[in-house]
A and B are shown apart, each in its own frame.
Chain A
Amino acid sequence: MTTAILASGLRKSYGEIEAVRGIDISIDAGETVALLGPNGAGKSTTIDMILGLARPDGGTVSVFGDTPTAAVDAGSVGAMLQTGALIRDLSVRELVAMVASLYPAPLPVDEALELTGLSEIAAQRTQKLSGGQAQRVRFAVALVSNPKLLVLDEPTVAMDVEGRRSFWGTMRGLAAQGRTVLFATHYLEEADAYADRAVLMAHGRVVADGPTNEIKAMVGTRTIRATLPAADLDALRRLPGVTAAERRGEAVVLSCADSDAAIRALLGVHGDARDIEIVSAGLEQAFVQLTGEEAPSQAVAVESVGS
């Protein structure tokens, strides 16, 4: 199997800020991989280096066994960057056709428009699109190059629910054609639903790398909190889906691997439970657990509360 992306010891700083602090990633051709992490984890900087838009301060990165620039020049890479709008004074179709003209073996423009659901607004000028429509045009621009490697930096940010659904539907089809897909996201749900594998980044490092179901188990814990003065903690710990239980005054807090099963069981046993909250641990919190580091933003928040 060929290697699509191979990064080793990759580092990049912007002034004082160490955006990426030595990461190793290897992605095989045909894989769909999510680059998962909170804002500021270094995802965009990593993507910039993979695309040859940023020069690493240390380490190396290759794309299909060559330099990123060579892969880009060969037309093997299509990308949807995080920041970016569209140039004006062209219709949607003209813009996509303009980009297609730069590549050696592009998709037919009509096909790219069809795949991204743009056929109906193909004649509209690019400056008159909604945020979600513009995002779809940017997807079409990445797609029309007919790339072997598709890189998407937080692709669904401006999309509504329906837009997201059809976007990922199209992505699945593209991945099924044997293309390599790398996408950055801070939604665990997106990584879980659409990637084979997730690379978890925090504070410029890779903190976990594996099949998405494993990553999800690692960071996907939820807690159930309920006011339940009389409950026996040992009995609660034995409920399905519960991994730990503790008491905080009148309330109990249950850590759950499967919060759905746990809440059903809890209500079955204690129909009188009140003030129930189910909270996702969230990526940021999961990263703190995984890395043993305090997230900088949280440390600041705690200080300001205390003062």
Chain B
Amino acid sequence: MSTLLYTRYELRRTLRNRRFFLLSLGFPLVLFFLIAGPNRHVHDLDKTGISAPMYFMVGMVAFGTMSSMLSCGARIAAERAVGWNRQLRISPLTTWAYFRAKVQTAYLMALLSMLVLFVAGASLGVSMSAGDWVEMSLLILACLIPFAALGIAIGHMLTPESIGPAMGGGVALLAFLGGTWFPIPSHGFLHDLGQLLPSYWLVQASHVALGGHPMGAKGWIVIVAWTVVLSALARRAYRNDTGRV
């Protein structure tokens, strides 16, 4: 008995799904070249001190990885719709092992999306020390934790028909308010609102390039708070979801 095998099959299924490549990998990549390409020589985007390719690379990583994490929810919703969820419940697979497999698969997909965009960024002249690349990657992966919980929660609450629009709209809104498309002003309403969202801190990972640590205590508190709230929601959604759909 090994949940490692189970996770491997989950991953294989996900890789075989062409929609994933189109949306999670292709879409952010195309957007990156469309936005950052014409601005590749802008070294200080909107006085942030960050070059346009760097800023939009991290912005698109935020967009792509958020989609990757939430698409875990779309897969759960599809499994529920065909009753597979009930089949799993009458197996010895524990709740934790089930969540772990889902989260691992989502993370591997996010990692793939991130690496593809890093390569794209480097091709437009983004360069950092190896240490900075690693620090930035780790920050991004940490900021994705609440999105893993959100993916599971919506997967158990929505139907395959409603989850597409919910995800598309949700990711677009979170990306917009987090500063994926353009830098959030350094003060004012958008700034205050953005700082309360995990997507804001995801995008802030680009500040690694400026040296120092972009995630202050405030950033970590926001990430941890969202993780706690959304994990509780995910657990509840999973518990309440035993009926025939």
Interface residues of A (CB under 8 A from B): 51-54, 72-75, 77-79, 81, 83-90, 94-95, 97-99, 101-104, 141, 145
A-B contact count (CB 8 A): 84
- Rounded to whole angstroms, the CA-CA distance of A205 and B218 in the bound complex is 60
Q: Is the CB of B86 within 8 A of A102?
A: no
A–B pairs, 12, beta carbons within 8 Å: A53-B86, A77-B90, A81-B86, A81-B90, A85-B82, A86-B84, A87-B84, A90-B9, A98-B6, A99-B91, A101-B9, A102-B3
Q: Is the CB of B91 within 8 A of A102?
A: yes
Q: Is the CB of B83 within 8 A of A72?
A: no
Q: Which residues of A contact B242 (CB under 8 A)?
A: 53-54
Known contacts A102-B92, A103-B1, A103-B91; decide if A86 and B86 are in contact (CB<8 Å): no
Cross-chain contact of B87 among A73, A84, A101 (Cβ < 8 A): A84
Q: Is the CB of B5 within 8 A of A98?
A: yes
Cross-chain contact of B89 among A53, A83, A99, A101 (Cβ < 8 A): A53
- Rounded to whole angstroms, the CA-CA distance of A141 and B91 in the bound complex is 10
Q: Is the CB of A97 within 8 A of B9?
A: yes
Q: Is the CB of B91 within 8 A of A81?
A: no
Whether a CB of chain A sits under 8 angstroms from the CB of B213 is no
Q: Is the CB of B93 within 8 A of A102?
A: yes
Q: Which residues of B contact A85 (CB under 8 A)?
A: 82-84
Q: Which residues of B contact A51 (CB under 8 A)?
A: 90
- Rounded to whole angstroms, the CA-CA distance of A90 and B13 in the bound complex is 6
Q: Which residues of A contact B82 (CB under 8 A)?
A: 84-87
- Rounded to whole angstroms, the CA-CA distance of A145 and B90 in the bound complex is 11
Q: Which residues of B contact A95 (CB under 8 A)?
A: 9
- Rounded to whole angstroms, the CA-CA distance of A104 and B78 in the bound complex is 27
Q: Is the CB of B9 within 8 A of A103?
A: no
Min CB–CB distance A105 → chain B (angstroms): 9
Q: Which residues of B contact A89 (CB under 8 A)?
A: 12-14, 16-17
* B residues 202-226 in Cβ contact with A at 8 Å: none
Min CB–CB distance B118 → chain A (angstroms): 27
* B residues 81-127 in Cβ contact with A at 8 Å: 82-84, 86-94
- Rounded to whole angstroms, the CA-CA distance of A141 and B83 in the bound complex is 13
Known contacts A74-B92, A90-B9; decide if A102 and B87 are in contact (CB<8 Å): no
Whether a CB of chain A sits under 8 angstroms from the CB of B244 is yes
Q: Which residues of B contact A73 (CB under 8 A)?
A: 92, 94
- Rounded to whole angstroms, the CA-CA distance of A2 and B79 in the bound complex is 36
Q: Is the CB of A90 within 8 A of B92?
A: no
